[in-house]
Each structure stands twice: as structure tokens, then as C-alpha cells.
Amino acid sequence: MIWLAGSPALSDTPDPLAELEALSKIIQDSIESIKSSLSSKNMDFPSPYTPMSLESEAARMQPEVDQACAMITAAAYQLISDVRSPMLTIVTVATQYALSASLGIATAANVPEALREAGPKGAHVVEIAKASSIDPTKLSRVLRVLATNHIFLEVAPDVFAHNRISSCLDTGKSVETLLASATTISPGTKHVNTTGIAAGIGHCTDEALKSAAYLQDALLDPAFACSQEPTETARNLAFETNTAMFEWLEKEGNEHRLLRFGITMEGAKQASPPNAIMEGFDWQGLKKNSLVVDVGGGIGAQSMTLVQHFPHLRFVIQDRESTVEEAIQFWDRQLPGARSTGKVVLQIHDLFAPQPVCDAAVYLLRNIIHDWPDKYCLQILRHLRKAATSDTRLVIVDSLVSYACEDRSLEGILGARRVVPPKPLLSNMGHAAAASYFTDIQMMELLNGKERTLKEIKDLMEASGWKVVQIHQSLAFSTAKVIGTPA
């Protein structure tokens, strides 16, 4: 028998059934580890049939439980790939866009809100369809493909109800309010004062999904193929525009997308453990009145967490004019007083202009570098380096993608060594880490941006006068902090 190169053999002559057994054992051991961790803390694992809330996710947020869940996800998906016919797998993957599209339709058609109002017994699709102008016979097919993939339940023929996953989509608003606002004001207002999860689904299944359909064209078009410009992307082809993402969002007709994107960024905090921004960097150790500059800080959702926990620090949150306008409302609503005391300053600043704050203890760049191609990242980092003092720290918070094979080349950097999962799992945790790789493609299609490997970030930092001194990362969450000092 010929083995293909790179097969992660358990022995010299890999036995497919031994791999299945090894994967099952990883799953079984991880379940045991969850049980013992939760029983020692007197906590319950959340049921897939109860609505999601941040409080009820507490068990899964325990680092050891979270890690065990990641192991189970990686092993279970690899098990599926090993046992299912390869033809069926390929066809299933090729048609999986139907899932993203269906999720977008259910969200836009107010299905989550209609099902919350219907209660645990659910509602017939004819009733659910009244929450929008959708055809019930088409909606039932959309909901069935989701229920088949464990999002919603089909509790009786054409009767659907929430499960835990689908309940995440609920904005908490009444169908009546949503129907009234859809006819009177912009549909983006649906997401105002919500967790931002439905907003994020809207962003991914509207502008991102539409752009993804053009990615093949963009990558194979000689004019766009090697482009490093944010104006030459699949999104530019899909929406027939020559503007970069953030300018495009500000264009007339995109008001709902701009509003939704801002709310998505705020909601994205919930994809990581609460207060994740606080970990891995010694904010407490900064001197009294030290200045943290949140560069491209959006409405300042991350800085707000830091303000609340580290009252000895001062903050400048910089962004584009339209975002700063939103940020003013956000801060005055959530933490009135922060601005009037001067503890927090909201500042209009272009990432590509010289940095006006030259006495910063920290420049924080969270989810910024991944928005831009290398040559633009270098401009951003060089402006910060020019304004930095010798004590300034650069904190880059972004996904760090790993190769799908082992790579130990940068283990000399403090914190860079990762826990290597047991074989036969992929060293990047396979499907458990899939969201980062999907986001990488989303960055490419929308902005010509990218999620980077540690080596790619290190190269950018070194080319702009920064030196990587420490990394903070976890096995389960791909978001990492790369901490630098002036070189």
C-alpha cells in the first residue's frame, strides 16, 4: 500500500482503525476531564436544549473545560473526516455555503425572535414566516437545513423551536418592534442595544458571503491576483465599487452595514472569555496615570474593560470620524463621567497619519493588523515606532494562525511555545481552530487583509523597528497578544 506524504502515522504502518480508536479515546478522556473539573467546582455543563446566556456559559468558560471542549471538537471532526466517504465529504463541503446563506436568511427574517415568542414548543413555519415577508414553504427548507446541522430543532413536521445554538441569534426584541422598525428606519437598528451576535451573523452572511462568491474570480484575475491594495478585493468585484472596506461602509446605502459592523465589533468580545483583554499583559504594573492609546479602537469596547479594572490608567481611543461619533454615544451611555473626567479621550485619527500621542506607555492594536496587507501594516507600525519612547510597549491582539503541521522555529520567544495536542490531532487543533482560518479568508476577500502566523507578525514588527519580547496565547482560543518594545 502507498501512504501519502505527511500522514500523521501512529506507527510506521498506520492502521486506520487504530486512528479511530485514538480519536475516540481523546474524546472519552476529555469528557472525563470536563466531568471531574465541573464536579469539583459544583458547576453544570450547559444543555444544548436551553437558551444561551453568558452566565449559563460559565462552565464552558473555565480554561480546562474550554480546552477539553476544543480537544473533543478537533477529534470529533477528524473522526468524521476519517469515517465518511471522501466523495461525500467533498460534496458536503462544496455545498456548505447553503448553511451560511440559510443562517443569514433566518436571522434577517426575524425567525429567532418569533421562536422565542413561541416558547419551547416552537411554532409552525406558517406562523414563523409572519415575522417577515418570506414564503413559508421556502423558509421551512431553510430552517430544515439548519436543524439538520444542529441549529434550531424541527420538533414536528414543519414545526421549529430554538435550541441553544439558535438562541444566540435572538436580538431579544419583539417581532412587532422589528417589523415596525423595518418599515420606518434602517434595518441596522435591529441590532442596537443587543449582544452583537446576530449583527455579526448579518455581517458574515451579507457582505462577506457575497464577497466570498467572487474570491475565485479575484484570485485568478491577473489584475487582482497579487494585489496588496484594499481596493482590489473580491468585495470590490462583488459590489462593483473601487473603495476600501471602511470607506465603502460609510457610503450612502450602507448605513445599516456600518451600524451593524460597529455592533459586531462590540459583540465580538463575547467570542473570547470575558475580560480576555486583561490577560497576558501586566496592565496593573503600569505606573499611575500611564497612557494607553487604543489605536483603531472602534467604539472603545476593549478599553472600557480596561478602564473598569485599571482605574490608575488613562486612555486615548482613536478611530475614524464616523466611529468616534458612535463611540461618544457608547461611552456616554455606558460609563458617563469617563470622558468628562479626562480619563478617556476619544480622538479622530487616521491610522496612516503620524501618531499624535508621543508619551504613550502602550499602543494597543486589537484586530487592526489583520485588516491590512503588509505594506499598510508597515506604515501603521512605523508611525507608532516614531512616536514611541524607549519605554513604550506595543500590544498587538490578533488571531495567530499556526501551520497545520508542527513548527518549533520560534519557540525561543517567551510564551511562543504551544501545548502540542496528542496525535493524531493536527498540531493546530484542526476544526477547533477553524474559525480563525475562515476569518483569514474573510479578511482576504473583504480587505486584502490576513490573519498572520507569529513569524509574519514578527517580520512586520522587525521591519518597522519593533522587537517581539513576549507572546500570550491559549490552546483553545486563537486570539493572542504579541508584545513588543522598540528595537
Tell me which residues touch ligand SAM (CB under 6 A): 246, 265, 296-298, 301-302, 319-320, 323, 350-352, 366-368, 371
Least separation in angstroms between CB 127 and ligand SAM: 38
Least separation in angstroms between CB 194 and ligand SAM: 16
Angle between helices 97-108 and 111-118 in degrees, nearest 10 = 60
Phi-psi region of 52 (alpha: psi -120 to 50; beta: other; left: phi over 0): beta
- Which residue out of 191, 370, 383, 431 is catalytically annotated? 370
Q: What is the DSSP letter of 189?
A: G
CA dist 160 and 409 (Å) reads 51
For residues 88 and 97, is the Cβ–Cβ distance under 8 A? no
For residues 249 and 257, is the Cβ–Cβ distance under 8 A? yes
Nearer to ligand SAM, 105 or 268 (CB): 268
Least separation in angstroms between CB 111 and ligand SAM: 28
Nearer to ligand SAM, 72 or 351 (CB): 351
Least separation in angstroms between CB 436 and ligand SAM: 14
Least separation in angstroms between CB 370 and ligand SAM: 8
CA dist 237 and 256 (Å) reads 21
Alpha-carbon dihedral 120, 125, 127, 133, rounded to 10 degrees:
130
Is 256 one of the catalytic residues? no
Angle between helices 321-334 and 301-309 in degrees, nearest 10 = 40
CA dist 377 and 64 (Å) reads 35
Nearer to ligand SAM, 26 or 204 (CB): 204
Least separation in angstroms between CB 203 and ligand SAM: 11
Nearer to ligand SAM, 429 or 480 (CB): 480
Nearer to ligand SAM, 296 or 373 (CB): 296
Which residues partner with 292 through β-bridges? 315, 362
CA dist 294 and 394 (Å) reads 10
Q: Which of 79, 21, 151, 148 is nearest to 430 (CA)?
A: 79
CA dist 331 and 410 (Å) reads 40
Nearer to ligand SAM, 97 or 352 (CB): 352
- Closest residue to ligand SAM, judged by C-beta, is 298
Which sequence positions are flagged as catalytic?
370
